[in-house]
Amino acid sequence: MSEHFPDASAFVKIDAHTHLGAFGNPFDIDFTVERLAQQMSDYSIEKTIVCPAGATLNSELKQACDTWRLTHKDKASCLVPLFWVNANLGQAACDALERALSEEGFAGVKMHPLFDAYCADSPVADPVLEIASRFGCPVFIHSGHPPFSLPWQIGLLAERHPQVRIVMLHMGHGHGVYIDAAITMASKFDNIFLETSGMPMGCQIKNAYERVGHERVLFGIDSPFHHPSVEIQRVLTSGLKDSALEEVFFQNAKRCMEM
């Protein structure tokens, strides 16, 4: 007997992880404001938390968000931008982050230890977390790739900064051991949230929801690298009840961002 799964269109969604901009080699892919608008319409996405295609492209993201506000005036607040910080760049990066959060309308921080080549628990990350603490905004950190972005490293960072909400993007990504570690770290440190994009095991979404807590698992797509239909179906088929799906798809990102 075939199983019946919920209808995706029944759930309004916040996508907690998507990029605007062009990625070059080795990806050769981009994602425009127009494509994002269509995606949000097609898949019942009310808001999208967006980050740029790299740490040097924050101004392009700001321009894209400004364009969105002009061309989608009825949905002006539906894009929530994150400022991508390369922690290796020290004071200059921190100064830029402070301006972004205080003057330029950015709502949080994106860190990518893999792309920018530093360990997630390195001391170079601490000043960034301290700024996030002062502004009361969350920090989204890529996870799942040694030697830079392992869940244990993000756990150590969270331990040093318990007042900062840390979103572990991909909740360990594609490795079963790292996925389990992501859940373990979030169970240990209550300032860690888990985001689901690119993580292949639907059952682990349910496990995370039950072990970590119903408020700390967030739906994400990671456009343009993943397709929304795949990411949505993984959550729908995870075994969660409708009330839990509503939290994962919408309420938890709203809580994390304090929208």
- DSSP per-residue codes, the chain: -PPP---GGGS-EEEEEEE-EEE-TTT-EEE-HHHHHHHHHHTTEEEEEEE-SSTT-HHHHHHHHHHHHHH-GGGTTSEEEEEE--GGGTHHHHHHHHHHHHHS---EEEE-HHHHT--TTSGGGHHHHHHHHHHT--EEEE-S-TTT--HHHHHHHHHH-TTS-EEEEGGGTT-HHHHHHHHHHHHH-TTEEEE-TT---HHHHHHHHHHH-TTSEE----BTTS-HHHHHHHHHTSS--HHHHHIIIIIHHHHHHT-
The domains found in the chain, sorted by start residue, are 8-257 (3.20.20.140)
The distance from CA 109 to its chain's CA centroid, rounded to whole angstroms, is 10
Residue 245 to residues 13, 177, 220, 230, 232, Cα–Cα distance (Å) = 10, 25, 13, 15, 10
The C-alpha atoms of residue 213 and residue 28 are separated, in whole angstroms, by 37
Question: Do the beta carbons of residue 217 and residue 205 sit within 8 Å?
Answer: yes
Q: What is the pLDDT along the chain (259 residues), one digit of tens a residue?
A: 457 788 999 999 999 999 999 998 889 999 999 999 999 999 999 999 999 999 999 999 999 999 999 999 889 899 999 999 999 999 999 999 999 999 999 999 999 999 999 999 999 999 999 999 999 999 999 999 999 999 999 999 999 999 999 999 999 999 999 999 999 999 999 999 999 999 999 999 999 999 999 999 999 999 999 999 999 999 999 999 999 999 999 999 999 999 8
